[in-house]
């Protein structure tokens, strides 16, 4: 784990030493500070993508060794939302990228659907104290990414999936690209590592999107990935892609930009 993430976990340990009444707001304040950090978002993204590649069956981002809380990161594509539901224990959630509409009610699922939504923007965090029905919906045009802490004060220890089917894939290719884009657009220090980790986990179309994102960071590394992708695609499509990569390589050389040859 990265140093910034480790610092965040150490802070959570301090927050959970507080009186039970004080914990939710302390955690909310800590998470809001954390998601404002480019380094924190970048480290979370790299860890999440590596987990997605090497342990795709795992559904929780991080579980406290002392079983006091679990951490999750979710992607919300445009138009996606979940159904009203309640958690047994308090939760804290923050928006890492994009924005979401949050619907809440202390009485019923129907009242939750009819409630006036709150717009949660990037960098904002909030607390839900049970009993409270809630649901979220992305009405924007970009994938939203949220970070959640679920307290484990009860006997309920199963992964909380925010209403997602347990059998559904944790992330699809579009989600993976959105996670990488969150880091690249903010020039996160681990952006290139995130691209390389994601490249191993997605299909050809998403791989091409990752090559384009790498162009924003390092033309040489983008050329190397493009050559790899052309070999993986093969056939006429791979040949056309290789020609594009070679033109890009020629431009990079002509501009005196350092580049890498694919092996």
What digits encode the pLDDT tens for the residues 164-187? 666 677 899 999 999 999 999 877
pLDDT in tens, 32-86: 999 999 999 999 999 999 999 888 788 899 999 999 999 999 999 999 999 999 9
Average confidence (pLDDT) over 221-226? 92
Q: Specify the residue for token string 């990935």.
A: 225
> Residue 48 has what pLDDT?
95
Tell me the residue length of the chain: 263
The residue assigned the tokens 């045009």 is 141
pLDDT at 259 over 70: no
Q: How far is CA 26 from the centre of its chain?
A: 23
CA 103, 85, 40 angle in degrees (round to 5)?
70
Distance CA 148, CA 93 (A): 4
Q: With a cut of 80, say whether residue 255 has pLDDT above it.
A: no
Helix (H, G, I), strand (E, B) or coil at 120: strand
Predicted confidence (pLDDT) per residue in 78-124, tens digit: 999 999 999 889 999 999 999 999 999 999 999 999 999 999 999 99
- The pTM of the full predicted model, rounded to 2 decimals, is 0.89
Span between the terminal Cα atoms of the chain, in Å: 30
Distances (CA, A) of 133 to 69, 107, 192: 20, 7, 40
Average pLDDT over residues 250-259: 61
The chain-wide mean pLDDT, for the chain, equals: 89
């Amino acid at each position: 784990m990265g140093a910034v993430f480790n610092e965040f976990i150490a802070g959570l340990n301090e927050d959970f030493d507080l009186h039970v009444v004080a914990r939710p707001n302390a955690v909310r304040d800590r998470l809001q500070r954390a998601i404002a950090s480019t380094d924190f978002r970048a480290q979370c993204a790299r860890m999440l993508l590596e987990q997605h590649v090497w342990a795709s069956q795992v559904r929780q981002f991080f579980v406290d060794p002392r079983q006091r809380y679990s951490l999750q990161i979710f992607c919300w594509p445009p138009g996606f939302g979940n159904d009203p539901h309640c958690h047994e224990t308090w939760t804290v959630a923050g928006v890492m990228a994009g924005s979401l509409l949050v619907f809440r009610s202390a009485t019923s699922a129907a009242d939750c659907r009819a409630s006036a939504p709150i717009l949660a923007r990037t960098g904002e965090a909030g607390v839900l104290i049970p009993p409270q029905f809630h649901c979220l919906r992305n009405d924007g045009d970009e994938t939203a990414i949220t970070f959640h802490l679920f307290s484990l004060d009860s006997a309920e220890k199963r992964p909380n999936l925010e209403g997602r089917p347990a059998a559904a894939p944790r992330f699809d290719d579009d989600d993976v690209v959105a996670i990488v884009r969150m880091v690249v657009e903010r020039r996160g220090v681990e952006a290139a590592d995130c691209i390389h980790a994601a490249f191993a986990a997605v299909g050809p179309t998403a791989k091409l999107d990752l090559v384009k994102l790498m162009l924003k960071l390092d033309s040489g590394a983008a050329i190397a990935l493009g050559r790899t992708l052309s070999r993986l695609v093969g056939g006429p499509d791979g040949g056309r892609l290789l020609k594009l990569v070679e033109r890009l390589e020629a431009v990079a050389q002509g501009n005196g930009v350092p580049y890498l040859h694919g092996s």
